[in-house]
Amino acid sequence: MITNDRPASDIREPSPSPEERRVYRAPVGSTWVVREPSPGPGTVVLSATGEFDMDTVQCLHEALADARHAGARQTVLDISQVGFGDSSFLHELVAAHFSHHHRLVLAGPIPDQLRELFLLTGTLRLFHTVRSRRSIGLT
């Protein structure tokens, strides 16, 4: 009989391969993050859609954690389809910025509500932002 001495909380599903598309869904509402096939080595592309608050932000947390575990040197997060983000959304972005990510790029256009959130909290300067994914060669 083979046993696993590690507690269940230590067992983690393997991160998706760079070529693999994966959808991270919130348990409630119509909020999700899609990990798209990698455009090149060291880059993970994520697209967020919906309204992110403490009830739905777990899907973003998981997507960013998988990008980190995949060893991405750059994570591009398209936030152009985010309708709302609260402090828990901002917390995930700030945590990703200060984690092992080499570079977190927020691709827009950045929705007005998020721009206000970043400006009011003084966090916009933390992030490298681009007008669109296309402006950095991603479609």
Can you give the residue range of the structural domain that contains 77? 17-132
Residue located via tokens 């479609």: 139
Rounded to a whole number of angstroms, the distance between the first and last alpha carbons of the chain is: 50
Mean pLDDT, residues 98-120 taken together: 91
Look at residue 2 and tell me if it is in a domain: no
Q: Which of 14, 121, 5 has the alpha carbon at shortest distance from 71?
A: 14
Look at residue 7 and tell me if it is in a domain: no
Number of domains, the chain: 1
Reported as type and span, the H/E element at residue 35 is strand 32-36
109 preceded by a cis bond (ω within 30 of 0): yes
The two tokens of residue 90 are 């901002």
Look at residue 1 and tell me if it is in a domain: no
pLDDT at 10 over 80: no
pLDDT at 70 over 50: yes
- Average confidence score pLDDT of the chain: 87
